[in-house]
Amino acid sequence: MICALALYGQHKGIYREVQAQTLATLQDVALQNKKGAEKELSNTQKLLADITAVIQLRHPNMETETELRNIIPELQRFASTYGFKRMGVILPNGITYTTDNYVYDLSQEEAYLYGMQGLPNITESLRDEIGVADWINVFSRPLYNHSSEVIGVIYAVYHTKSFKELLTVDAFEGEGYSYIINTDGQVVSDSLNAPMYGTTNLLDSLVALDNRNTQTVSELTAAMDSRSSSYATFEASETQYLYYTPLEVESLNTSWYMLTMVPAKVLDSRVAPILQHQNKFLLIIMTAIIIAFVYIIWSYRKDARILHTLAYEDPLTHGDNYAYFLEKLPQTESNGYMVALDLSEFKLINSICGLAKGDLILRAVWDIIRKHLEKDELAAHLTADQYIMYLQAVSKDVLLARLRMICVEISGLAEQYNTVQISPYFGIYQSTGTTNAEESYTRALQAKKLAKDNAQKKWAFYEEVDVASITEKKQLEDHFEDAIAHHEFEVWYQPKYDAHSRTIVGAEALVRWRTGDGTLIPPYRFIPLFERNGMIVTLDEYVFTTVCKQIKEWEMQHKKLLPVSINVSRASLYYEFILERYTEILAQYDVNPSLVPLEVTESATINNQQIQELVERFREAGFPIYLDDFGNGYSSLATLNMMHFDTIKLDKSLVDYIGDANGEKLLHYTIKLAKSLGMKITAEGVETENQVQFLQTLHCDEIQGYFFSKPLPLAEFEQLI
């Protein structure tokens, strides 16, 4: 009897221990699911925020329905790139236009109602009957005009199946499953293996399954009101354990909860071997107890390994992720090299060869990196084509030798996988233990950007980074939108003169930046920066609009109208709707296109059929087209035969040849060829009387340069004309 009582007490203790371990594991799985769901929701909403910001930057003057509909082609590219089922824009009247060519009324839907109030939103699961019917979630954000007024809503349709896959974790031998619900019980998503309890409202379904669940649902409702976490049980076909916890996600206009369940039979199955042998001999029972303990430990470790995989394994490469990298880094030697790596042209692989081929390349790059790691060294895949390494080497030369080997093997992947050529770039920061991991990685990223800007080498050390220059550029970028809004950019005018009569015949528009405190920032400090980051598109349009407005004012003041040429950057020529946008501005101010010639550089047009066709469309719309900076180290006389330009602007480097016999011959035949093709000639950078007289003998048409006038602010230019 004593033995039996002892064994019974032991069984009860074991049962309670297994129950506690099961519930602890249930909580761990629930919290891991919560973390993954929060990250996915936040990342997707941030992606939509970035897309909306790009749209607002590219279309700062959206007001009409036509202008709002014009963003659909850009949304189509974003939807394709990021795997959304569709994207769309909702007009102020509630009508939506989508990237898959549907038009319908959303005036009663959450996306519209919250968006027009200036609120981002994520919906519960909805049944999408448009196109291929399936379950979706809708992410939405308000769309603002330049006056910060809500003029519509941008939204992205997200496949609910992606949530299902995210929530499907191989826990409890496949018996565990999860739901995300709102406080009303509506199902936002569930895991792929979750039972279908009936309706889309989980709380109503639980009560309908068994009246005993009424108390559980009441407890859940109260817990959700107080946003607390805990355990519960409910009855379905069998008793189920449940752990519930709130989701913490911005942009939710209602509270969401993560519910993770496991059948009670999982617990019973773990202690069943003990219960089946409780009436046998002591030796057999003790043996069974030992076996049960072994099983419990193994099961617990198995679940722990699953949780470790979720927390520390990169889902694409199945190698280490950044969280594992940060945890293990303090255990390494304090002196080493933090190396940031990414791949050039990787976006081309995804767009040309497909996402599956891109994933193959990313896994192959990880295999190469891992193969080159030595003892006590670390690496991790971060996101997309970005990796981080912590390497140790006795010198920089030894380190670079290792990176060259990695570079050669990664470059060889293009031939192996039949893709476009790729090449890695490395940013390197030598850590001495005085900086934390995040700061070290940030410095490695700054060095990597320097390496990418220099096509001659594949790596750069942080010591080479001009931190002051980076800070200044960041400040210029951050202040750009305010500078546009407050008209800090001034248009100056450099006059052009007839080469023979020496009378003013036009001007070129140039831009200067005068900050709020009166400081004048020269163009060389911000133009190249904005050309690299794409802001030049907005600045080009700003200058074009300012010149058109000024010409209209001169016309209303009955002043003499002279053509003012405007530079159009390479980036603006890649903007899909630039012709339509510029013609809209002309119509707004009722300006003849002949008064605003456009200057383009040869490097922007050569070997690019699409841009050549765009330039020709500008000419057909009435814009005179000037070829700018001809002779500036890139020019080819063949270009003059490839495209028709109205005027060729000779660069100062050619004008400076005057006085050199060979240089003067080059000028003579260049001008003669251009004129034989029906083009006018403007000489830039003319500074001396001798240069003017020589250009007159060559029948040059117009002269621009300091000999006649430097660039002038508006007031001085108006006095001149």
For residue 635, the model assigns a pLDDT of 52
- Structure confidence by residue, pLDDT tens digits, 588-628: 999 999 999 999 987 777 666 777 888 899 999 999 999 99
Whether 60-156 and 2-41+163-277 are alike in CATH topology: the answer is yes
Each domain of the chain, given as residue ranges in start order, spans 2-41+163-277, 60-156, 322-465, 531-710
Long-range contacts of 411-419 (CB under 8 A, 24+ apart): 413/361, 413/364, 413/365, 416/364, 417/357, 417/360, 417/361, 417/364, 419/349, 419/352, 419/353, 419/357, 419/361
The DSSP output letter for 186 is B
HSE (side-chain half, CA atoms, 13 Å) at 51: 30
pLDDT band at 539 (very low <50, low <70, confident <90, very high): very high
Q: Can you tell me which residue has the tokens 């009663």?
A: 108
Strand order in the sheet with 378-383: 378-383, 386-391, 336-344, 423-431, 459-461
Both tokens of 130, joined, read 């448009």
pLDDT band at 679 (very low <50, low <70, confident <90, very high): very high
Bridge pairing between strands 680-683 and 647-650 = parallel
For residue 529, the model assigns a pLDDT of 85
Q: Is 7 exposed, middle or buried (0-12, 13-18, 19+ CB in 10 A)?
A: buried
Both tokens of 345, joined, read 């042209």
Asked: is 60-156 a CATH 1.20.1050.140 domain? The reply is no
For residue 299, the model assigns a pLDDT of 52
Average pLDDT over the chain reads: 85
Q: Can you tell me the distance from the alpha carbon of 255 to that of 220, in angstroms, rounded to the nearest whole number?
A: 13
- Structure confidence by residue, pLDDT tens digits, 24-67: 878 888 888 888 888 888 888 888 888 988 888 888 778 788 88
Under 8 Å between Cβ of 244 and 257? yes
What is 197-231 written as a DSSP string? Answer: -SSSBHHHHHHHH-TTHHHHHHHHHHHHHHT--EE
For residue 4, the model assigns a pLDDT of 46
Percent of the chain surpassing pLDDT 70: 87
In CATH, the architecture of 531-710 is Alpha-Beta Barrel (3.20)
Both tokens of 28, joined, read 């761990």
pTM of the model as a whole: 0.45
Helices vs strands, H then E, count in the chain: 27, 26
- CATH of 2-41+163-277 given 3.30.450.20, 3.40.50.1000, 2.30.42.10, 3.20.20.120: 3.30.450.20
Q: Is the pLDDT of residue 478 over 60?
A: yes
Q: Can you tell me which residue has the tokens 């990313």?
A: 362
Under 8 Å between Cβ of 239 and 233? yes
Under 8 Å between Cβ of 623 and 597? yes
For residue 308, the model assigns a pLDDT of 47
Q: Can you tell me the distance from the alpha carbon of 17 to that of 230, in angstroms, rounded to the nearest whole number?
A: 18
- Structure confidence by residue, pLDDT tens digits, 247-289: 887 767 778 888 888 888 776 666 555 555 555 655 666 666 6
Among 143-152, 304-313, 482-491, top mean pLDDT goes to 482-491
Q: Can you tell me the distance from the alpha carbon of 514 to that of 508, in angstroms, rounded to the nearest whole number?
A: 19
- CATH of 322-465 given 3.10.580.10, 3.30.1490.20, 3.30.70.270, 3.30.470.10: 3.30.70.270
